[in-house]
Structure 1
């Protein structure tokens, strides 16, 4: 019975990689490895190549490889150096068509486009260059989308600041004002003038229509304004003039 019992103990303990012999726990010898016709014991180092550190472990060849430098960027002419590590001999770069662009530099294929090398990208990444205002692209630093608006563009960020042009806020002293070129400000191209009825007369000039004499005051004098602009000051003359017309105040049409 004792022999059978010992056999059973050996069988059970062998399943857990150890057995009892003469009241001692005995661990079996781990299996070895074979590499290129040569046998290695468990724990032996194996020289496979110059880039790895290998050893025999429980019948398996286990290797550790050196860490390559972190390769964040990219290049179109990458080469493989020792132990499979990558290297960019000409620095980081990318492709744009047949051109090679260096990392950190920009390329302008046209006035409204800018292309750059972006980290990890093989091809250059392109985007609009300039600023968009009401559906139109502007690449100038200062641009005028309309006579009344001036904008400053920051083309690398596609941001613009726009403001209305400032005009001198003074009453216009003419009835034929026009907008000055390149601004939104009105000017009097023919100098100060007024309406006498439907007739335009220059400032400081009398107009006699037979029934009244009208004068447009000079700009430094008080002017009278109607819905259509400055109005002349008129005096009745002839038979229609009242007896005191020489002292009667001027009437506005």
Structure 2
């Protein structure tokens, strides 16, 4: 009985000593206020005042100050509109994959695909994913009154080749009497109906005046003398 009491007293003494030790040493394990002394990133690394660091892999660079991190977004290069996968490095986006298509006018075209954006403009999606366009080169029309049709890029001559004779349009290949004295026709070059805008006009030859039915015979001085003798010569 005496030994059990002695053991109980020893246990109580040890508990009292441990409690006193824990109470005395508790302030030694308290963390103080770190604000205004350093900065910490997402991974727990500590940076001192004035040091530049990245809080996270996609974050902008920050400077550690007494008031906390001050971050400034840098000027990043533009991402190509055909980029299909973007990652961030040092706060700026970086393209990791490009689409194998061309984007033009808000539409997507396959590589080497040809397309028309207007009735006179044809384009092609090249292998380098750039679009190159060309405008149709229309030849000079063979007429002075060409018209534009909805399904044609270049003007057409609906009535065939022609030219101007003054203010009048005359067909090529014909001689047209403009008035009683003038005949006009379209001229062309190189043997084709690439007509000159203005016609060539010529004056028609005028008919010779008609001879009068009554003509006077030529006078013969000798006959006149014979018909009308001089009186002073009569003896």
Relative to the length of structure 1, the TM-score reads 0.34
More strand by share: 1
Rg larger in structure: 2
More helix by share: 2
